[in-house]
Structure 1
Amino acid sequence: MTDQFDASGRLRHLLTLDGLPRAALDALLDRAQAMVDGDEVNARLAGTAVCTLFFEPSTRTRLSFQRASQRLGADVLGFDASTSSTTKGETALDTFRNIEAMGVRGFVVRHADDGAVAALAAAAAPGSALVNAGDGRSAHPTQGLLDMLSLRQAKGRDFSGLKVAIVGDVRHSRVARSDLQALRTLGAGEIRVCGPAALLPDAQTLAGCVVSHDLDDALEGVDAVMMLRLQRERMVEGLVDSLEDYHRDYGLDARRLARAAAAAVVLHPGPMNRGVEIDDDVADGPQSLILRQVANGVAVRMAVLETLLG
């Protein structure tokens, strides 16, 4: 993994939350909260160019990074792989180097391959900064940050008493990995992971977690539930018998949510498969933080871009 810090100890890239010191994580969350609270940020990145370099589809992440860049006064360049020279065989590295040669300093990169963003960061010129907007199954650090900010707003800064359940397709979820890393760093009291055995990752990823295959048991008394999308585009056939069976065993509805603590909150990174991993009465219910997560995503991404490029 490319070192995320420069020789002076300043955060240069944000590639993963794995190993990110508690102080650095807290600083990003504190800065994002200040932006939520209305701190003036106009023109902090005036004259700086930021490219959203996405080799995979995205709605929330791409648009919130664009919105964050605009609010900071940066010039935003959008990149769509489907209409770019990558369709003619150009490599991601050549694409990156050519855009960098145009004077772009900030790159927000999403890629289907594990480690692809770190490889580009290793080739970056001095002064360029990369943010991992999701690579393969590995990491989605800004989603992890916005999830932690949403939890912190709802439950306070001290996570030591929190019981958090992460439910669903953890095996294929880069979001789950970043959330697990952040929750450990912030000292969450108990992390429960629940899903069918075929959709859970290796033991190292689940270190320190309470693992369950029974959703009713996993929800008992938890303070927060993070539901995950069933990522059929990343999985081989046969891992799930049917969507109906998955919903029966691992879908979150109001009846099941009643097993959680009375003030429990529900999170989901989106896009949601309604009627598969989450029902309307939960997604749109009073305990849902899902739209708050989206709103917080802009503030978190502003904080990250300002930290790296300011």
Structure 2
Amino acid sequence: MQRSVSLCALALASLLIVCALLSLVLGAMNLPVYDSLLIVVDKLFGANLSQLEDYQQIVVLELRLPRLLLAVFIGAILAQCGAVVQGLFRNPLADPGIIGVSSGAAVGAIVAIVVFPAVWGSWTIPTMAFVGGLLTTLLVYGLAQSKSGTSVLILLLAGVAISAFAGAAIGFLSYFADDASLRELNVWQMGSLTGANDANLWLAFTTMVLLMIAFQRRAQALNALLLGEPEARHLGIDVEQLKLQMIILTAVGVGVAVSCSGIIGFVGLVVPHLVRLATGPNHHFLLPLSALLGAVLLMCSDLLARLVVQPAELPVGLVTVLLGAPFFLILLIQQRKNWS
């Protein structure tokens, strides 16, 4: 097991480096690899090694590098939140997007954009996205709970209902929004990494690091919860407190991700399942490896979004849906065989 985890971590780290390099040099304007790396070194250490022209330096440092970093941070956040939600509900079909948490966070962010922009300054959108995601998570979880445990069927149905309500709310707000707000609403609905400014990067980076620490500290408790709630209680785990903590932390992560990049679906569903197939369900390894693979997946999705219809680009949320929806159907077929 330890060897498979080490090999998986090494492979993902190598893939992350390769994808980052490709993201820097490929696009509507292809750039030389060596000089693109040197300009990043110049930026970090104040050197003057790169031979890139000024406009090429702007492309690397102000456009591609921030998007690359935001993809890493948001991908890691969504993948970890997906792993936690699946562990909490003890079902591989659970995902912040499928159970409606991302839609609820998006509604909160869009309310902030349209109804009362900048009430709390730059914290307005992240705060409202967090509130929307938290309320949605609590509602879905409450509906799915019963004396016999968590009902997967009700969980998915509640997610469908929440997503439908969120779509109606977004449509209602779009009807009354002005032209400037409508452009922003399109970003939230389809997901985009074009908002990779300094504020979003620092917010996403800080959230990613804090969630990594918080989730890892509770990895053993999540492992115990996989055995069932009664067994976890016998092992000394305060199950209700654990659930509340994880719900709040997941809402924070999804809220920040939505506030920075809009709705990007299926990352939290696909990534943990793939890692679990490779290394097992132990959350001590599942969480950090999911963060790595989530970063790689979203970075690759953003690269595809920039290359497929260049010089234009697709919203990255559409690419992740195209990749994740077939995977979700395969999971449903597998679950159907298990239920029959």
Q: TM-score surpassing 0.5? A: no
Give the TM-score, by structure 2 length: 0.20
Higher relative helix content: 2
Q: Give the TM-score, by structure 1 length.
A: 0.22
- Greater per-residue strand proportion: 1
The higher-RCO structure (CA 8 Å, 6+ apart) is 2
